[in-house]
Amino acid sequence: MSRIDARVRVVDTEGGRTFTERFDATPIRIGRALDSDLVLPRPAIAARHGEIEIGARAAHFRSRAWLRASYVDGARVRRGRAVKLTDETVISLGPYEIRVWFRVRDRGYERERRVTPLISTPILIVPEMRLDRGWTPDDRTP
């Protein structure tokens, strides 16, 4: 079992609800069953619909459903087959759309910079603040 930092964003297209789950181990089991890691409670979802496996340099989605369809970027994934995931990949299971961001907690791989970043954070640039009196919009001192 690999140690990871992963975020899975789920959009319920029928219910209009969006939520994000965090995981620290792989595989991430997806299904309607209550013992799944990511429970999606809709009849269109199989009890064991699929799983996301995250390795050192890549993530894969593997379909486990016999009768219910799984799609990755619009292409159907047959039962037992694995499809490589990227930052832009959308997994469609019934009315749900799922995206995955991850990084592996292994300093050797992080040094190589070959893993997908967890999130990209915008940089906030703040004007310099003087500790003795604070900053005001009229302050023109360098």
The predicted pLDDT at position 77 comes to 93
5/74 Cα distance (integer angstroms)? 26
Cα separation of 70 and 40, whole Å?
13
CATH architecture assignment, domain 3-112: Sandwich (2.60)
What burial class does residue 35 get, using C-beta atoms within 10 Å of its C-beta: 0-12 exposed, 13-18 middle, 19+ buried?
Answer: exposed
Consecutive sets of 10 residues in the chain, 142 residues long: mean pLDDT of each? Answer: 79 91 91 93 93 88 90 92 91 94 66 47 47 50 50
CB atoms closer than 10 angstroms to residue 123: 4
Task: Provide the residue ranges of all domains of the chain, joining segments of one domain with +.
Answer: 3-112
What global pTM score does this model have?
0.69
